[in-house]
Structure 1
Amino acid sequence: MDHSGHGMMSDLPPFTLGRGLEPSADVFFLAGCLLALVLYGWGVARLRRRGDAWPWGRVVAFVLGVLTIALVTCTKLNDYGMVMFSVHMVQHMVISMLSPILLLLGAPTTLALRALPVAGKGRKGPREWLLWLLHSVYMRVVTHPGFTIPLFIASLYALYFTPLFDFLMGSTTGHIVMMVHFLAVGVVFFWPIMGIDPGPHRPGYLMRMLELFAGMPFHAFFGIALMMGSTPMVGTFQHPPASLGIDALSDQTAAGGIAWAFSEVPSVMVLLALLFQWHRSEERQARRTDRAADRDGDAELKAYNAYLASLDARR
């Protein structure tokens, strides 16, 4: 295979590819990752200069999310993912399930709304356009569970079990489109569930958990289908380079195992985040209730004292 262009891996032994060569960075994703870090850093710095706080935990989560994208698109994983189904499945699972969760934990939309300046009267700047997008019909549709859950499922079955996957893997542009699609699907699926950034849909915590577990079993079924296949099911990976010393069917089985096992990782991460948010929400509600009770109690006491004063006045 041609090692130019999109980092197609040459027919060399794995240890040769991994030694003494520069990482096969995808320029598109490398530029995107750097831009994301710069913009996020600008937003945090702007808030700090203004005297506003921004949790460091969100900064760490967002940076880790960007780094996971860079890991699977800008290193040798990108080369091996072109010829090994198992490595490609690692790329897919990370960029569609782990990276979106970490990015969303960083609350980039909330940061943008707080950091971007307000445009003058009668004008529209970046902040106003972002608000318009968040309230648009398009955003209400693409973040609705009736759209995100079927899309999340179809991204597996309609892609890998049809000729579409081989078509996309046949060109640099196609491969970029596929990876961007994986990332976008993960973001719109987990966005309403995570519930940190503002969005058109804000279901209750129980409904978010149901949405989470509605999509995860299909990942497991997909992995099992690959593991049970008696023949290679994806044309791109039917004939791996002989120098790699791997069997296509065994590699497919490994890919299925990765898809099956990886579905548990984001489920646990998101479930823990939801339980934490739910606990915090209950604590805030309890404090509000206590403050309201205190105010009501004070009002009742004042009313009772006024009543006693009026009786005394009559006497």
Structure 2
Amino acid sequence: MDHGGHGTNMELPPFTLGRGLEFTGEPFFLVGCLLALGLYAAAVVRLRGRGDGWPVMRTVAWVLGVLTVGLAMCTGLNEYGMVLFSVHMVQHMVISMLSPILLLLGAPVTLTLRALPSAGRGRKGPRELLVALLHGRLLRVTTHPAFTIPLFIASLYGLYFSPLFDFLMGSTTGHRAMMVHFLLVGLVFFWPIMGVDPGPHRPGHLMRMLELFAGMPFHAFFGIALMMASEPMIATYAHPSPSLRVSALSDQTAAGGIAWAFSEIPSVLVLIALVFQWHNSEQRQARRLDRAADRDGEKELAAYNAYLASLQARGQ
């Protein structure tokens, strides 16, 4: 269905969860989702064929991430999102806060690096270009918190509280571009924080938590601003069709509530992931120290015992 104009001329029945979850198969995102699943599966099959393992939970996370994009964009949510601010906000939050976290937990960059063949000495193939990109200046800048946090905030306030949003909502292409932008901003914001894939910025676990909490309050404030407003703030949703049986203001209040509540979900998800990573890295460190101790033939312990014995001898 093409959303000519501002989408408000679409006569839709009142929103229900059943209508929202009906499969509509938005072609652009459907093709994107199928490609994402196909390429990932091909890479995993390639590793397995070589006798290399790949964690099942990473594959599960990737599939769930792609499915959340499909759920937001290839169902009735996409139709209703053009005419109801609250439904649009569900789409926005899922695609910018939930999908990126799940996709990143799938470690797509690590998988790609392991699946792509090396081009050989002195030659540059896709794998070498990807490694160069990961170590390049562009990614160093675009994944730095000084860039990602302002970008995350600007893509909320700069978009919704300016005429740009209404302009983009005026066409299918604009709407798709906006949703792709939300997904990319989410990926760029959460990538250094999740720290699953290799990248230029890999701060310690504590710094990652601080980065996460630096961005989240702005989402909550944005939601509160929408809930507190006494008049419709977005022209696209200022005059909902009577067939929807909803007022613009109550729809906007619901949208604000969704934005506010949703800012907690990624925080919890990311914190759980970070605690697990932290625990695993501590265990790895302990195992490394144990191995080093075994290798050194308990030299350190023997030296310490000798030191204690010398102290005792001196005391006597």
Q: Scaled by the length of structure 1, what TM-score is found?
A: 0.90
In structure 2, what residue type is equivalent to 1:4? D
Question: Could you tell me which residue of structure 2 aligns to residue 189 of structure 1?
Answer: 189
Q: Which runs of 5+ in 1 are unaligned?
A: 304-315
Task: Give RMSD over aligned pairs.
Answer: 2.2
Check the 8 A contact 1:143/1:191 in 2, yes or no. yes
CA drift of 1:122 comes to: 3.1
**CA distance in structure 2 between the aligned counterparts of 1:300 and 1:37, rounded to whole angstroms:** 51
Q: After TM superposition, give the deviation of residue 297 of structure 1 in Å.
A: 3.8
Question: 1:1-315 maps to which residues of 2 (within 5 A)?
Answer: 3-4=1-2, 10-14=10-14, 23-299=23-299
State how far apart, in whole Å, the 2-side matches of 1:234 and 1:159 are. 10
Q: Distance in 2 between matches of 1:146 and 1:182?
A: 18
How far 1:173 sits from its partner (Å)?
1.5
Deviations 1:238-288 (A, max 9, x none): 011110100000000000000000000000000010011001111111111
Q: Contact 2:26/2:73 (CA < 8 Å) preserved in 1?
A: yes
Does the 8 A contact of 2:3 with 2:172 survive in 1? Answer: yes
More deviation, 126-135/47-56: 126-135
Quote the offset at 1:183 in angstroms: 0.3
SS in 2 for 1:53: coil
CA distance in 1, matches of 2:195, 2:12: 46
Q: Mean alpha-carbon deviation: is it higher for 81-90 or for 136-145?
A: 136-145
Structure 1: distance between partners of 2:278 and 2:301: 34
Residues 192-224 of structure 1 show CA distances to partners (whole Å, capped at 9, x for unaligned) of 000110001010000000000000001000000
Whichever residue aligns with residue 256 of structure 2, its letter is: G
What CA distance in whole angstroms lies between the structure 1 residues aligned with 2:78 and 2:15?
Answer: 15
Alpha-carbon contact 2:15-2:80 (below 8 Å) kept: no
Provide the rounded CA distance (Å) in 1 between the counterparts of 2:44 and 2:23: 30
| Alpha carbons of structure 1 residues 290 and 253: separation in structure 2 relative to 1, 3 Å | same
**3-state DSSP of counterpart to 2:83:** coil
SS at match of 1:202: coil
Question: Do 2:14 and 2:245's aligned partners in 1 also have CA atoms closer than 8 Å?
Answer: no
- CA-to-aligned-CA distance 1:43-69 (integer Å, 9 cap, x gap): 000000111110110000000000000
Q: 1:50, 1:6 → 2: CA distance?
A: 50
Q: Identity of counterpart residues, as a percentage?
A: 75
Q: TM-score, normalised by structure 2?
A: 0.90
Q: Within 2, Cα distance between the matches of 1:130 and 1:267?
A: 30
Residue 11 of structure 1, CA deviation: 0.6
Deviation for aligned residue 1:299:
4.6
The residue identity in structure 2 corresponding to 1:289 is: L
Assess if the C-alpha contact under 8 Å between 1:6 and 1:26 holds in 2: no
Distance in 1 (alpha carbons) for counterparts of 2:263 and 2:240: 26
Q: Which amino acid aligns with 1:226?
A: L
Query: Aligned AA for 2:271?
Result: L
**Structure 2 runs not aligned, ≥5 long:** 304-316
CA separation of 1:26 and 1:180: change in aligned 2, threshold 3 A = same
Corresponding letter in the other structure for 1:212: L
Aligned position for 2:311: none
Decide whether aligned partners of structure 1 residues 104 and 98 sit closer, same or farther in structure 2, where only a CA change above 3 A counts: same
Q: 1:156 to 1:125 in 2, by over 3 A?
A: same
